[in-house]
Amino acid sequence: TLADGPEALQCPTLIEDDRTGMSPETLKRAFLDNLFYLQGVNRTDASPYNYYVALAYTVRDRLLRRFLKSTDTYKQEKVKLVCYFSAEFLMGRYLGNNLANLGIYDLIKEMIEELGLDFEEIIEQEPDPGLGNGGLGRLAACFLDSLASLEIPAIGYGIRYEFGIFHQMIQNGWQVEIPDNWLRFGNPWELPRPDESVEVKLGGRTEIYHDDKGQERVQWLPERRVLAIPHDTPVPGYKTNTVNALRLWKAEASESFNFEAFNAGLYDQSVAEKMDAETISKVLYPNDNTPAGRELRLAQQYFFVAASLQDLIRIHLKSHKNLQNFHETAAIQLNDTHPAIAIAELMRLLVDENGLEWSKAWTITQKTFAYTNHTLLPEALERWSADLLGKLLPRHLEIIYLINHFFLDDVRTWFPDNEELLGKLSIVEEAGWGNKQIRMANLACVGSHSINGVAALHTELLQKDTLKEFAMLWPEKFYNKTNGVTPRRWILLSNPQLSALFTEKIGDNWLKDLKELRKLEQYLDDPEFRQRWYEIKQANKADLAAYMLKTRNIEVDVNSIFDVQVKRIHEYKRQHLAVLHIIALYNRIKQNPQIDIVPRTFIFGGKAAPGYFMAKLIIKLTNAVAEIVNKDPDVRGRLKLVFLPNFNVSLGQRIYPAADLSEQISTAGKEASGTGNMKFAMNGSLTIGTLDGANIEIREEAGAENFFLFGLTAEEVYAKKAHGYEPMSYYKNNRELKGVIDRIKSGYFSHGDPELFRPIVDSLLYDDQYMLLADYQSYADCQEQVSEAYRDRDKWTRMSILNSVRMAKFSSDRTIWEYCQEIWKVNPVKISLED
Ligand code: GPV
């Protein structure tokens, strides 16, 4: 009271601020306030969605001080910023993650439940932000979590797609795509920053002119301009003060441009142009491991890269007088070649717009960029026709030609008279009839100081094969950075029971240092621990079983092996190899219904690119086999096949913890790394897999005896191809395999129509690019070993424990730390919350 005098006022925590207070009473008050004042609803008629929004704002408020403190500190201390340039960020839902990273998950859960509300239901109101296709986009999200958790100053730059990856429905066994209008109800996590908008130019032509010193220079006379409006989402580290930004750009029409047309009485045209501009950030291209090749896609890539570089230059010039040391302010990582046009854009900004000498600009550019390659598939490497690129970005095409010219001149002095080498290294491919293609991987290699693969085998094959000429020129530029995933989302959030067991036994430091899990090996021989391990897996399986019953109306046996393959559908990933094996098991049962087999539930999930015919047909085949197998009385429920529609981050969080067996069965030498493989293993699934991507390293860590290995090695695959591979001979010589293919051919799974699946059958028999038939027997035999191992619960549980506790290498914290030390040369920066 006033009578107490000023001393009483010196205790400011007496009443907590509703925006920052962490006591249960304050949190509750803030939550209910956000329901009433931000949304105008009473408790009596609030929907679960209203509650979600109220809670999201309650949490966001508690991030903001750390967020602004982080940004301020980076500015004050002129730190080097890690800039992750990526066309995709597959972030997953924010609410649960932000609660966990703030360390208030349990507190809030209790508060919500005290109000008589369903916490789980509220979490599920949030649309899963699907601004990515698969592994590449999810990797970017795991990296942002690790960067903030390791207290590294960083920013993610990308596109704020209005429509994310399509929602997948299954109708009559076929994939049907539904637009993902994820922003329809707004987005409480993002902060639009219209005052930091920048303009991006497109189209037009270039012109030579003379500057005031009489120097000949080039300027770009664009045909149109669009506004890029940044939207920032805070990305908190796990129990740190660091909150970094994910800065996504939205395209809008420039006001100035609009006015001209409007004043000229062309209102309709000005509105059309506005819509045209907005098209750029309208929709994510739903391709994984295949380039789109469309002009709009290139416009998207240039749009976000040009906006991000302007942003970084603005930040740099706030504390530096010129751009000579730009590379000391920003370490830019190119997530594949999607943002590789940034190399030409930075050259343009430095040379054309800031008057730097070409060679000086080139040094800065090379010191700024680093390139991550994510694929070995030659058809997945991006190439743009020079015509298309020149139409949209005339000055960039000239700059690319210049870069190539100087580069090839150097190569000629190093390796005289080697036209073949020049042809391989050239950024420009002469595709005949004057049809030139720009090879974006070559541009990325030439313009970067670092080139990395994403798993040991992948990096080795890049150096030996895909990028061998560059590896020969610059061996010192090549690095391996084996992928990782964040244990916060992929263990703590998705498997709370297992997390609680870990923490009970060894404390919670494993969430900051996954090597801690090794300590759990001491419990391997403890029957009580193994029992709890088993019970947790069974409980997770029961949860998933309930979900499958509810969403697909399929009843499954929780004592069966949950055998799971979830990932984008692609022929090289070989979902159809697993389907062939299921048909083989079915045939064995049909031949002898009394046969003793270990029951299995096969769970598939994954989206097919809408234009990828074979991938869509594989989905149809899977569902067609399910339809027959699930209802055949001879099977007696021993085999169940479930295709779970719309596999995404949220569904992954349900599935990984419930899996007994993780299917990682790509043709050796085709999967760059895989990251789902790591999420499964961390959650105690055993892997059946080829020696491909990161499987090799997972097997090394878990121990060969705890991994089900099958199939040809990458080397054997190459050798077989070289000697003329004949899939037909496998069909003719393997009775079981022949029975499987004949079953499909006969129309048994297609209501008697032998044509429906002919494209799959023909591709297997006459081409089999991915060598399913060569690997079939090895796979089927290996699956027998899996079944035998599963019969011995003790043995299986031990293997499961060892897989999980030995996965420290695959924490993205380890991956990011290596990037920081070896490529970016950055260190942690502590954020203080004191004023
Ligand atoms: I290139 N990847 C992807 O998800 N989309 C792409 O367009 C391309 C690659 C994936 C690879 O296929 C995976 O092997 C890898 O684990 C992942 O990128 C992350 O590196």
The single residue of 93, 231, 374, 477 carrying the catalytic annotation is: 374
Pocket probe mutation, ligand 1, options 285, 297, 372, 374, max atoms within 8 Å of Cβ = 374
- Cα–Cα dist 84/246, whole Å: 9
Is the CB of 462 within 6 Å of ligand 1?
no
Is the CB of 484 within 6 Å of ligand 1?
no
Q: Which of 9-23, 70-84, 387-401 has the lowest mean pLDDT?
A: 9-23
Is the CB of 382 within 6 Å of ligand 1?
no
- Cα–Cα dist 331/342, whole Å: 13
Q: Which residues lie below 8 Å from residue 57, measured CB to CB, with a gap of 6+?
A: 34, 38, 188
The single residue of 675, 687, 690, 815 carrying the catalytic annotation is: 675
The single residue of 567, 607, 638, 699 carrying the catalytic annotation is: 567
* Residue pLDDT, tens place only, 540-584: 999 999 999 999 999 999 999 999 999 999 999 999 999 999 999
DSSP state of 13: G
Is the CB of 345 within 6 Å of ligand 1?
no
- Cα–Cα dist 615/760, whole Å: 10
Establish whether 675 is a catalytic residue.
yes
* Residue pLDDT, tens place only, 751-797: 999 999 999 999 999 999 999 999 999 999 999 999 999 999 999 99
- Are the C-beta atoms of 51 and 117 separated by less than 8 Å? yes
List of long-range contacts for 3-6, beta carbons under 8 Å, 24+ apart: none
- Cα–Cα dist 661/681, whole Å: 9
The mean pLDDT of the chain is 96
Average pLDDT value for residue range 805-810? 98
Q: Please tell me the chain's helix, strand, coil percentages from 3-state DSSP, rounded to the nearest 5.
A: 55, 15, 30
Strand, helix or coil for residue 160: coil
Establish whether 233 is a catalytic residue.
no
pLDDT value at position 12? 52
Quote the strand ranges of 567-705, DSSP E.
600-605, 639-643, 661-664, 686-689
pLDDT value at position 271? 83
Average pLDDT value for residue range 252-257? 76
Is the CB of 684 within 6 Å of ligand 1?
no
In one-letter notation, the amino acid at residue 635 is V
Name the residue at shortest CA distance from atom 16 of ligand 1. 674
Tokens 């100035």 locate to: 256
pLDDT value at position 14? 65
Strands 708-709 and 686-689 come out as parallel
- Cα–Cα dist 560/554, whole Å: 14
CA distances to 13, 113, 701 from 6, rounded to whole Å, are: 15, 40, 63
- Are the C-beta atoms of 827 and 341 separated by less than 8 Å? no
Tokens 């070559």 locate to: 442
Angle at 754 between CA 749 and CA 757, to 5 degrees: 65
Q: Which of 115-129, 263-277, 286-300, 345-359 has the lowest mean pLDDT?
A: 263-277
Query: Which tokens go with 148?
Result: 């903030």
Average pLDDT value for residue range 352-358? 97
User: How far is the centre of ligand 1, averaged over its atoms, from the C-alpha of 568 (Å)?
Assistant: 10
Establish whether 679 is a catalytic residue.
yes
Is the CB of 134 within 6 Å of ligand 1?
yes
Pocket probe mutation, ligand 1, options 90, 133, 136, max atoms within 8 Å of Cβ = 136
- Are the C-beta atoms of 555 and 542 separated by less than 8 Å? no
Which atom number of ligand 1 is nearest to the Cα of residue 693?
14
Is the CB of 454 within 6 Å of ligand 1?
yes
- Are the C-beta atoms of 429 and 439 separated by less than 8 Å? yes
Is the CB of 375 within 6 Å of ligand 1?
yes
- Cα–Cα dist 720/717, whole Å: 5
Strand, helix or coil for residue 357: coil
Q: Is the pLDDT of residue 370 over 70?
A: yes
- Cα–Cα dist 331/152, whole Å: 12
Name the residue at shortest CA distance from atom 9 of ligand 1. 374
- Cα–Cα dist 202/633, whole Å: 63
Q: What is the CA radius of gyration of the chain?
A: 28
Query: Which tokens go with 654?
Result: 């349900």
The single residue of 62, 573, 600, 806 carrying the catalytic annotation is: 573
Q: CB 753: neighbour CB atoms within 10 A?
A: 10
Is the CB of 692 within 6 Å of ligand 1?
no
Tokens 């990096």 locate to: 459
Three-state SS sequence of 89-126: ECCCCCHHHHHHHHCCHHHHHHHHHHCCCCHHHHHCCC
Average pLDDT value for residue range 607-636? 98
Q: Which residues lie below 8 Å from residue 314, measured CB to CB, with a gap of 6+?
A: 198
- Cα–Cα dist 791/789, whole Å: 5
Establish whether 167 is a catalytic residue.
no
CA distances to 161, 170, 282, 283, 341 from 231, rounded to whole Å, are: 11, 34, 15, 16, 22
Strand, helix or coil for residue 804: helix
Q: Is the pLDDT of residue 333 over 70?
A: yes
- Cα–Cα dist 657/496, whole Å: 10
Establish whether 365 is a catalytic residue.
no
Tokens 């009580």 locate to: 528
- Cα–Cα dist 310/609, whole Å: 33
Establish whether 567 is a catalytic residue.
yes
The interface predicted TM-score of the complex, written ipTM, equals 0.99
Reported as a pLDDT band with limits 50, 70 and 90, residue 3 is low
Torsion angles phi and psi, residue 680, rounded to 5: -60, -50
Pocket probe mutation, ligand 1, options 289, 466, 480, max atoms within 8 Å of Cβ = 289
The residue with greater pLDDT, 9 or 713, is 713
Reported as a pLDDT band with limits 50, 70 and 90, residue 258 is low
Is the CB of 139 within 6 Å of ligand 1?
yes
CA-based nearest residue to 197, from 99, 357, 310? 310
Count of residues in the chain: 835
pLDDT value at position 272? 84
